[in-house]
């Protein structure tokens, strides 16, 4: 069990700056995120898109903003737990016990939800019966490519993941690549490579087709594809891979007994605390009268939630407000003074 | 100002007046029309404001710009008349527009 003064759920800009504020006032924190990298929506959805409304930063991309925030955390020792989702939050006297789906358990008086619109999960095939095959013969990511050797694999999607795997798996498997239109959004070089492999007969390409239904008994046997003209084609397959990007899902947060409003969590504007003592929500996921879904609002909310955490993490101490320009305490924590 | 009709997957019709300059997505969100999630808030980055535009209207409204089809690749059950409603800007010419909302966004 990992003990910490505060656990932050979400490593987007708000979560990162909240971590900064916690450490600055002398509290420890750990950060959990379901993505495999730090940065949240900024890094997953718009790494290259410029942002123009970060105070004192006239222009920066999602990636630059993330890198700057990570740099700002350098003086501190913050542990990130990526690739995992918080599943369960349970009260234990003055603390919360928080469990993730990869087996980590945290004991903390403060949980700060900086979860954006929820955790990123792969988008799935639309036919309901696909669930029966999931993680057996139907996948949304590749963990062990060896299982495909000598087998027939149907790959769906038009981006880099679909193309990269089509090219890679075509070396040792029979690959059918299926995409809803003729244009691919993947890198040009990969698209050309894929087309070359199609010419060589190494990849069978079906464009303007989408999955209609899956057939099989325990194991996938075949897939019915349908095109825009409602023509149906049945292809035999041992495996199916879907690469349709990621979608944000509120997920288990919905079961923690918090007051929800659509996909957001109600908080007060003093501590950004939810209806549960010691659970806060900041950034896009929180809701209060006048809420603006801007990154700058998340920074403010995180700063205030961090001060609220102090009370529960250090019940016998008094929090003193200080400036980084003048406080020896803060400068020491920032590594600017011995 | 344009009257826009949003038809949910179970055939409920919601007709609302939407101000010029707003998007069809914003018209739905502001009027609490179910089935348009708009997770990214109109940044063409999530494909959860996906709608089907009736054929006669599909050709009348401004065409898709770069990137919209890339996002539609990820939408739930895209069709030839699929659009992202955050990319359709409302004007007087759109008065009477009907869009169908898919059974879910993801």
Q: Three-state SS for B84?
A: strand
User: Three-class SS string for chain A?
Assistant: CEECCEEEECCCHHHHHHHHHHHHCCCCEEEECCCCCCCCHHHHCCCCCEECCECCECCEEHHHHHHHHHHHCCCCCCEEECCCCEEEEEEECCEEEEEECCCCEEEECCEEECCCCCEEEECCCCCHHHHHHECCCEECCCCCHHHHCCCEEEEECCCHHHHHHHHHHCCCCEEEEEECCCCCCCCHHHHHHHHHHHHCCCEEEEECEEEEEEEEECEEEEEEEEECCCCEEEEECCEEEECCCEEEECHHHHHCCCCEECCEEECCCCCCECCCCCEEECHHHEECCCCCCCHHHHHHHHHHHHHHHHHHHCCCCCCCCCCCCCCHHHHHHCCCCC
- Other Cβ atoms within 10 Å of A181 Cβ, number: 18
Q: What is the pLDDT of residues A129-152, one digit of tens each?
A: 999 999 999 999 998 999 999 999
Helix axes A13-24, A62-72, angle to 10 degrees: 10
CA distance B76 to chain A (A): 7
| pLDDT on residue B36 | 94
Q: Starting from the edge strand earliest in sequence, which strands make up the sheet with A6-9, in order?
A: A79-81, A29-32, A6-9, A111-113, A279-281
Inter-chain residue contact A247 with B41, CB threshold 8 Å: no
CA distance A338 to chain B (A): 44
Per the DSSP assignment, residues forming a β-bridge with A273 are A280
Q: Three-state SS for B37?
A: coil
Cα distance between residue A306 and residue A270, in whole Å: 11
**CB contacts, 8 Å: B45 with chain A:** 41, 45-46, 49
**CB contacts, 8 Å: A293 with chain B:** 41
**Residue B69 DSSP label:** H
Inter-chain residue contact B106 with A41, CB threshold 8 Å: no
| pLDDT on residue A246 | 87
Structure tokens at A213: 């239904």
| pLDDT on residue A143 | 86
pLDDT-derived band at B106, boundaries 50, 70, 90: confident
Inter-chain residue contact B73 with A185, CB threshold 8 Å: yes
Inter-chain residue contact B80 with A179, CB threshold 8 Å: no
What is the average pLDDT across A299-326? 97
Inter-chain residue contact A123 with B76, CB threshold 8 Å: yes
| pLDDT on residue A49 | 87
Best CA proximity match to B77, nearest among A190, A145, A212, A250: A212
Structure tokens at A18: 């909240």
Q: What is the pLDDT of residues A256-290, one digit of tens each?
A: 999 998 789 999 999 999 999 999 999 999 999 99
What is the average pLDDT across B79-103? 96
Q: Starting from the edge strand earliest in sequence, which strands make up the sheet with A174-179, in order?
A: A138-139, A239-242, A152-156, A174-179, A203-207
Inter-chain residue contact A247 with B45, CB threshold 8 Å: no
Residue A241 scores a pLDDT above 90: yes
Structure tokens at A96: 């919360």
**CB contacts, 8 Å: A117 with chain B:** 39-40
Inter-chain residue contact B73 with A159, CB threshold 8 Å: yes
Position with higher pLDDT, A262 vs A208: A208
Q: What is the pLDDT of residues A14-30, one digit of tens each?
A: 999 999 999 999 999 99
**Residue B47 DSSP label:** -
Inter-chain residue contact A244 with B45, CB threshold 8 Å: no
Is the pTM higher than 0.95? The answer reads no
Inter-chain residue contact A45 with B46, CB threshold 8 Å: yes
CA-based torsion, A142, A144, A147, A150: positive or negative: positive
- Other Cβ atoms within 10 Å of A325 Cβ, number: 7
CA distance A179 to chain B (A): 8
**CB contacts, 8 Å: B48 with chain A:** 247
CA distance A18 to chain B (A): 22
- φ, ψ of residue A267 in degrees (nearest 5): -135, 165
Give the mean pLDDT of chain B. 94
Question: In terms of CATH, what superfamily is B2-100?
Answer: Beta-grasp domain (3.10.20.30)
Best CA proximity match to A108, nearest among A27, A24, A19, A40: A27
- Tell me which residue in A45, A210, A263 faces B40 most closely, judged by beta carbons: A45
CB < 8 Å & 24+ apart, contacts of A90-96 = A91/A276, A94/A312, A95/A278, A96/A7, A96/A278, A96/A279
Residue A80 scores a pLDDT above 80: yes
Query: B-side interface with A, Cβ within 8 Å?
Result: 37, 39-41, 43, 45-48, 69-70, 73-74, 76-80, 106
Q: What is the pLDDT of residues A85-106, one digit of tens each?
A: 999 999 999 999 999 999 999 9
Q: Three-state SS for B106?
A: coil
Number of Cβ pairs closer than 8 Å across A and B?
A: 52
Cα distance between residue A15 and residue A103, in whole Å: 22
| pLDDT on residue B39 | 85
Cα distance between residue A107 and residue A6, in whole Å: 9
Q: Over pLDDT 70: what percentage of chain B?
A: 100
List the domains of chain A with CATH numbers: 2-121+247-333 (3.50.50.60), 124-244 (3.50.50.60)
Cα distance between residue A136 and residue A143, in whole Å: 12
**Whether A269 contacts A287, CB under 8 Å:** no
**Whether A141 contacts A36, CB under 8 Å:** no
Inter-chain residue contact A157 with B73, CB threshold 8 Å: yes
Inter-chain residue contact A183 with B69, CB threshold 8 Å: yes
Taking only Cα atoms into account, the Rg of chain B, rounded to an integer number of angstroms, comes to 12
Q: Three-state SS for B15?
A: strand
Chain A residue whose CA is closest to B47: A247
Dihedral of CA atoms A73, A78, A83, A89 in degrees, nearest 10, equals: -120
**Whether A81 contacts A27, CB under 8 Å:** no
């Amino acid at each position: 069990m990992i003990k910490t003064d505060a656990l932050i759920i979400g490593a987007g800009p708000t979560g990162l700056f909240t971590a900064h504020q916690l450490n600055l006032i002398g509290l420890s924190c750990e950060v959990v995120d379901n993505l495999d990298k730090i940065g949240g929506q900024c890094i997953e959805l718009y790494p290259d898109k410029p942002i123009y409304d970060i105070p004192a930063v006239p222009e920066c991309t999602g990636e630059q903003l993330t890198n700057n925030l990570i740099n700002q955390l350098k003086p501190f020792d913050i542990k990130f737990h990526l690739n995992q989702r918080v599943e369960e939050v349970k009260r234990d006297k003055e603390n919360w016990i928080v469990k993730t789906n990869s087996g980590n358990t945290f004991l903390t008086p403060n949980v700060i939800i900086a979860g954006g619109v929820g955790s990123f999960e792969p988008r799935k095939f639309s036919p309901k019966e696909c669930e029966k095959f999931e993680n057996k013969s139907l996948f949304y990511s590749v963990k062990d490519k060896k299982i495909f050797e000598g087998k027939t694999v149907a790959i769906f999607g038009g981006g880099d993941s679909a193309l990269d795997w089509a090219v890679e798996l075509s070396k040792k498997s029979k690959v059918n690549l299926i995409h809803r239109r003729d244009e691919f959004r993947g890198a040009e070089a990969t698209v050309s490579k894929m087309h070359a492999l199609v010419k060589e007969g190494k990849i069978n390409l079906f464009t303007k087709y989408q999955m209609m239904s899956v057939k099989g008994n325990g194991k996938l046997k075949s897939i019915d594809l349908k095109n825009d003209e409602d023509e149906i084609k049945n292809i035999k397959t041992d495996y199916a891979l879907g690469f349709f990007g990621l979608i944000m899902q509120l997920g288990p947060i919905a079961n923690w007994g918090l007051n929800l409003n659509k996909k957001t969590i109600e908080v007060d504007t003093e501590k950004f605390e939810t209806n549960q003592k010691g659970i806060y929500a900041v950034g896009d996921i929180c809701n209060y009268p006048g809420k603006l879904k801007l990154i700058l609002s998340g920074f403010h909310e995180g700063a205030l939630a961090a001060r609220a955490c102090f009370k529960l993490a250090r019940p016998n101490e008094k929090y003193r407000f200080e400036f980084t320009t003048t406080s020896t305490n803060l400068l020491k924590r920032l590594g600017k003074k011995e | 100002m344009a009257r826009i009709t949003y038809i949910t997957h179970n055939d409920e019709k919601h007709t609302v007046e939407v101000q010029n300059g707003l998007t069809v997505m914003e018209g739905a969100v502001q009027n609490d029309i179910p089935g348009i999630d708009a997770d990214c808030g109109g940044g063409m980055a999530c494909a959860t404001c996906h709608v089907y535009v009736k054929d006669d209207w599909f050709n009348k409204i401004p065409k898709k710009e770069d990137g919209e089809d890339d996002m539609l690749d990820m939408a739930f059950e895209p069709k030839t008349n699929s659009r992202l409603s955050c990319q359709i800007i409302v004007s007087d010419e759109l008065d009477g527009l009907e869009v169908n909302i898919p059974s879910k966004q993801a």
